[in-house]
Amino acid sequence: MTLPIPGMVIERHRTALVVTDLQNDFLTPGGAAWGLVAESMAANNTVANIEALLGAARESGYPVFLSPHYYYPSDGKWVAPAGAVEALMGRLGVFARKGPLTLDGFDGSGADWPERFKPLLCACDTVVASPHKVYGTASNDLVLQLRKRRVEKVILAGPVGNLCVEAHLRDFLEHGFEVAAVRDATAGARNEEGDGYRAALVNFRFMAHAVWTTREAVRFMREAADRP
């Protein structure tokens, strides 16, 4: 059985770029979780492709929504059992911050944005959502922020396709958004069961309205911006 391709037509005033976990611990060599996805990101040119999406958003006037992942000292007092990746991130100290009301030690930390992205983020209409704590949007205000802007269509990217990106995709669909996943602006880790990146692509194809390359996404963003 051949799956249909619904497609997504970008409308600039109703469309946003959403990037999950745009943070040093995943995207910068030496980051606490860099080793989980470094090989996959190199194969996909993920970091440069995310940069190209941010550049297109800046040039064509699309808002950028970031869904960060922060852990505060109070989160270390959780007693409910953690899943496999949660436990690993806790052990590695991924996305650690000193507290929700301070930026002490934040600049250049694993929770901070990579330096190469900061000029683009400062030049864009950028919204930083409250942190998600596991994988999806259930624990942050991202959906509210999008709804308050009347955004109905999402171009979705981020470093870990089979975890936070896929979880955000599923949540967006449940909330009635149209979603285009950018297949080479993401990555995935491997374990003894297989390749997380390939698993993400399979599920993107089953669920998303569109699965684009970065080149396609940038072209569509620019074309839509030129339409009256």
Q: Where are the domains of the chain?
A: 12-226
Instruction: Give residue 136's pLDDT.
Output: 98
Please give the CATH architecture assigned to the domain spanning 12-226: 3-Layer(aba) Sandwich (3.40)
Selection from 79, 78, 89, 203 nearest residue 135 by Cα: 89
CB 207 within 8 A of CB 5: no
Q: Evaluate whether 156 touches 169 at the Cβ level (below 8 Å).
A: yes
pLDDT at 228: 77
Residue keyed to tokens 């901070």 = 112
Report in angstroms the alpha-carbon separations of 120 from 39, 139, 200: 25, 27, 27
At residue 129's C-alpha, the angle toward residues 207 and 214, to 5°, is 45
> What is the Cβ-side half-sphere exposure of residue 179, based on CA atoms within 13 angstroms?
27
Cβ atoms 69, 21 nearer than 8 A:
yes
Task: State the pLDDT at residue 1.
Answer: 80
**The pLDDT value given to residue 95:** 96
- The per-residue pLDDT for 135 is 97
Model pLDDT, residue 227: 87
Regions in the chain scoring below 50 on pLDDT: none
pLDDT recorded at residue 131 = 98
pLDDT of 104 reads 97
